[in-house]
Structure 1
Amino acid sequence: MKDRATKFSVLLPEGDSNLVPFVVNCLSRKKNVEIYVLGNNPKAEVKSSNKIKNFTHCPKAKTSEEWVANVNQELDRFDIDILMPFDEFGIHAAIELKDQLYQNEKLVFLSSLKSFELSRNKGALAQHMKKNNIPCPSTILFEKYQVCEKAPMNFPIILKPLEGYGGGRGIHKFEDNKTFEAFFESNKVEVPYLIQSYIEGYDIDCSVLCKDGEILAYTIQKGYLAGDDEFGPNVGVEFVDRKDMFTVAQRLMKSLNWNGVAHIDMRYNKNDGSYNVVEINPRFWETTEASEIAGVNFPYLYCLASLDKEFNFPKFKNTKYLNLIGLSKTIKANKWFLFNLKFMFQNTPLKYYLSDPKPILNIIYHKLKSVMSS
């Protein structure tokens, strides 16, 4: 039975993460939720938000132990119902040191440390998927500084760092031996990396909330407006039904006995119609707001599930979403889009900023101040 009246307070302990506005915006859609934020930047934009109950400034945590100490102090100050880490550092610290959290019964359910670390290691994940017959690109692992003198598979191929990068940065595509050899002649790869077969097709992603490997909620999104970088995130996405892709996501999450949220990057193979898992982001994602607009409020549902409150399996709408960069690109390409007010207020983040203008105004103010003083 769907629970609409459950009142609770939630602590978001990573107030300096770039993901915090997305999580706050989604939770704030429910009037029965009180949002507490813990961060180390006393001038954080979220501090001025009218959507949060309290912002606490704390020393920056350099270790998991320091992070837990900050969280424990906050839990002592306020009567919090749910503790929800939502980015990788906090999730890892909460899993690793759960026993050191004074009120760990308030922690959202999370995966095991083994599954979490496996999920964010592209090489280990590729090996796990091969072992469990989950479709994925052919993958060969290399150590840092190691030169791959000959392509280990047929072209086209991509080279991808295993650590220290995100958002498509550090990825290189090669069509032939000439460009491949030229890369190693002019570059030293300073982190462990992998080489994968490049799948002809398109990117498509599945966001999930799971408990004990079972998917409680999901959305599937496909890019329709690309950003400036070839391997970077799309600035416009469309939510679509793909039952065969969902089956792959189910198998993957079950194999990891996953708990919590994850954003699964996949690649559709236009040659055989298969969906191949490329990587997992074991945290919330930059299009969390887009999922909420499509009808699935992942942060809120995560809290409900952690409180053992039942809800109906949510269905998402087949709709489109533009982030602010995508909206700007669309208007530049077609000035008449400015008159599509319904889309702009329902399918972009504008509604969040108009209902809570102080954070975005602070960002604009500081940017203008920086320009004027330079």
Structure 2
Amino acid sequence: MDTNSKLSILIPDGESHILLYVVSCMSKLKNIDLYLMSNEMNNPMRYSKYIKTFSYYAKTSSDIDWINNINKELEKHDIEVIMPIFETGIRTLIKHKTKISQQDRLGLLPSLSNFDTALNKGLLAKHLDANNLPNPKTVSLSTELEFDNVNSLNFPVIIKPEEGFGGGQGIIKFNSKEELHHYFSNHDFEYINIVQEYIEGYDIDCSVLCKSGEILAFTIQKGNMTGKNQFSPQFGLSFLYEDELYRVVEKLMKSLKWNGVAHIDMRYDRKANLFKVIEVNARFWVSLDASLIAGVNFPYLYCLASKGHIFKIPQYSYISYINLKGVVKSIKKNITFIFKVNFILKHTPLQFALKDPLPMIYKFISRTRNILRSRLPK
């Protein structure tokens, strides 16, 4: 990999909360020009010293308007890779990629059908079954009238939205059919839920970069510090390798002929002694900086792969990592943690915040201003 040649990248969906982690990864490279599009004029990341040009375009409901704005950026700048970072932007680019004026600048993108299969938990469950990939038994429920579908499931179960949400939102565990029925009887849903057998075991994830279904880079990580609740993202991670898990992910990515990045949520089933696929996040993820610290820079490798560069699968270190919320939690639990300066500077995101403080400062000021305004008498 030649890190000395200049690489100019356009991120067209810069309003995503994932942007912070993508920029942190790119901050490690000297010869990167990041061009940012956003529908938020006061986006804190516009003040990052790693953003070469920030372009604000008012939010529009028209996909074509957004595509046209990308074409304007391509005309103004010598962009080499268009790198969408979140589901909405990725799907829009897949759907309208023929309308991009310079299609050779598009980053790796999966097909629309495979992207939708990965994103929709009901479709994904059917795909996993069809390809003999281990997963928890799943049924979809849109109304109470379909409730008999759960008769085939063993309890306890969890429910979650079939599409959208994230970060553990909308996930609830039920120990009996009666509990589940009562919940559905007393709630009106504007979306389809999936009901899934709860797996006794532990969560473990695999992050990948693929081209035509082949894995080009990956990391495997297991949570080591619980987040806000049982189903929310972990505050801490430990990197490791599990060959059986890797083989499941490898088969899954090949079955989807996947192009681009993905973060696969999995769970180890203690009873069945299997690693089972839970869901696929078809985008970049919030622990990108953790993977970077472990030795894999996914956004940069995405750009290299999109430009046709060939590289060996990077090796990663089996380190521990905690995010900033994890740092606070650790200090509250044991004040002496604050003296673990070497660990804090090398195994947490603090290193990125210290090198690029303006976005965080602006975000703090903006939040404080909004809180004060909300308390003023109306």
TM class by smaller structure: over 0.9
Q: Quote the sequence identity (%).
A: 42
Contact 1:145 1:188 in 2 (8 A): no
Offset of residue 371 of structure 1: 3.0
User: 1:336 matched to which residue of 2?
Assistant: 336
Relative to structure 2, which stretch is displaced further, 258-267 or 178-187?
Answer: 178-187
Bigger mean CA offset, 83-92 vs 160-169: 160-169
- 1:145 Cα deviation (Å)? 5.3
Q: What amino acid maps onto 2:40 in structure 1?
A: N
The separation in 1 between residues aligned to 2:240 and 2:143, in whole angstroms, is: 39
Q: How does 1:138-217 map to 2 (within 5 A)?
A: 138-144=137-143, 146=145, 148=147, 151-217=151-217
Deviation at 1:273, TM superposition (A): 1.8
Report what 2:259 is aligned to: 259
Q: Is the partner of 1:148 in helix, strand or coil?
A: helix
Residues 1:198 and 1:57: Cα distance change in structure 2 (over 3 Å): same
Question: 1:145·1:191 contact (CA, 8 Å) conserved in 2?
Answer: no
Instruction: Please tell me whether residue 37 in structure 1 is matched to residue 17 in structure 2.
Output: no
Residues 222 and 237 in structure 2, CA contact (< 8 A), matched pair in contact too: yes
Q: Tell me the CA shift for residue 121 of structure 1.
A: 0.6
1:57 aligned residue: 56
Match of 1:103 in 2: 102
Secondary structure of the corresponding residue to residue 183 of structure 1: helix
Aligned-partner Cα distance in 2 for 1:230–1:244: 25
2-structure distance, mates of 1:63, 1:250: 36
Tell me the distance in 2 between the aligned counterparts of 1:265 and 1:34: 32
Q: Which residue of 2 aligns with 1:93?
A: 92
Q: Which residue of 2 aligns with 1:25?
A: 24
Q: CA distance change for structure 1 residues 144 and 56 in 2, over 3 Å: closer, same or farther?
A: farther
Structure-1 separation of matches of 2:121 and 2:371: 40
3-state SS in 2 of match to 1:237: strand
Q: Deviations over 1:127-173 (max 9, x none)?
A: 01101001011111222454525643111111121124211111111
Q: Which residue of 1 aligns with 2:306?
A: 306
Separation in 1 of the partners of 2:44 and 2:143?
38
Greater Cα offset, 143-152 or 71-80: 143-152
Paired residue secondary structure (1:353): helix
Whichever residue aligns with residue 179 of structure 1, its letter is E
Alpha-carbon distance between aligned partners in 2 of 1:63 and 1:284, rounded to the nearest angstrom: 24
Partner amino acid for 1:307? K
Is 143-152 or 203-212 further displaced after alignment? 143-152
Quote the residue 1:289 is aligned against.
289
Q: Distance in 2 between matches of 1:164 and 1:144?
A: 18
Q: Which residue of 2 aligns with 1:15?
A: 14
The answer to whether residue 355 in structure 2 is matched with residue 366 in structure 1 is no
CA RMSD of aligned residues (A): 1.3
Distance 2:182 2:142 in 1: 19
Amino acid at match of 2:13: E
**Residues 67-113 of structure 1: CA distance to partner in whole angstroms, max 9, x if unpaired?**
20111111111111111111111111111111100011101121111
Q: Mark the runs of 5 or more structure 1 residues left unpaired by the alignment.
A: none
Deviation string 1:224-243 (CA, Å, 9 cap, x unpaired) is 11111221111111111111
CA contact (8 A) 1:3 1:311 kept: no
1:78 is aligned to 2:77: yes
Q: Provide the rounded CA distance (Å) in 1 between the counterparts of 2:68 and 2:14.
A: 15
1:29 CA drift (Å): 0.8
Matched, 1:248 2:248: yes
Unaligned runs of 5+ in 2: none
- Which digits, 9 at most, give the CA deviation of each residue in 1:188-246, with x for residues without a partner? 33311111111100111100000000000000111111111221111111111111100
What is the alpha-carbon distance in structure 1 between the residues aligned to residue 128 and residue 336 of structure 2? 47
Could you tell me how far 1:5 is from its partner in structure 2?
A: 2.3
CA distance in 1, matches of 2:234, 2:197: 22
Contact 1:264 / 1:279 at 8 angstroms: preserved in 2? Answer: yes
Q: Contact 2:48 / 2:356 at 8 angstroms: preserved in 1?
A: yes
Residue identity matched to 2:193: Y
Alpha-carbon separation, structure 1, partners of 2:51 and 2:371: 30
Q: Deviations over 1:316-351 (max 9, x none)?
A: 111111111111111110100000011111111111
Partner AA of 2:72 in structure 1: Q
Matched, 1:220 2:220: yes
Asked whether the 8 Å contact 1:203–1:222 carries over to 2, the reply is: yes
In the other structure, the counterpart of 2:319 is: 319
Which amino acid is 2:24 matched to?
N
Deviation of 1:285 (Å): 0.5
Aligned to 1:121: 120
Measured in 1, the distance between the counterparts of 2:130 and 2:372 equals 57
TM-score if structure 2 supplies the norm length? Answer: 0.96
